Amino acid sequence: MADDIPPTGDSIAVGDLSDLADGDMRCFPDVGDYGIVVCRYQGSLYALEDNCSHADTPLSEGRFRGAKVTCPLHGAQFDVRDGTHSGPPAFEGVACYQVVESSDGVVVMLDSGGKESSDGFGEIGGRFRTR
Dump pLDDT digits (tens) for 20-45: 999 999 999 998 889 999 999 999 99
Q: Which helix (H) or strand (E) holds 109?
A: strand 105-110
Q: Per-residue pLDDT tens for 67-114? A: 999 999 999 999 999 999 988 888 999 999 999 998 889 999 986 433
Higher pLDDT, 81 or 123: 81
Please check whether residue 62 lies inside any domain of the structure: yes
Please check whether residue 103 lies inside any domain of the structure: yes
Please check whether residue 131 lies inside any domain of the structure: no
Please check whether residue 123 lies inside any domain of the structure: no
30 CB-near residues (< 8 Å, 6+ apart)? none
Q: What is the pLDDT of residue 114?
A: 39
The domain in which residue 101 lies consists of 10-110
CA-based nearest residue to 69, from 55, 83, 87: 83
CATH of the domain at 26: 2.102.10.10
Please check whether residue 4 lies inside any domain of the structure: no
Report the alpha-carbon distance of residue 80 to residue 69 in Å, rounded: 7
Please check whether residue 99 lies inside any domain of the structure: yes
Please check whether residue 96 lies inside any domain of the structure: yes
Q: pTM to 2 decimals?
A: 0.78
Report the alpha-carbon distance of residue 67 to residue 49 in Å, rounded: 15
Domains contained in the chain, number: 1
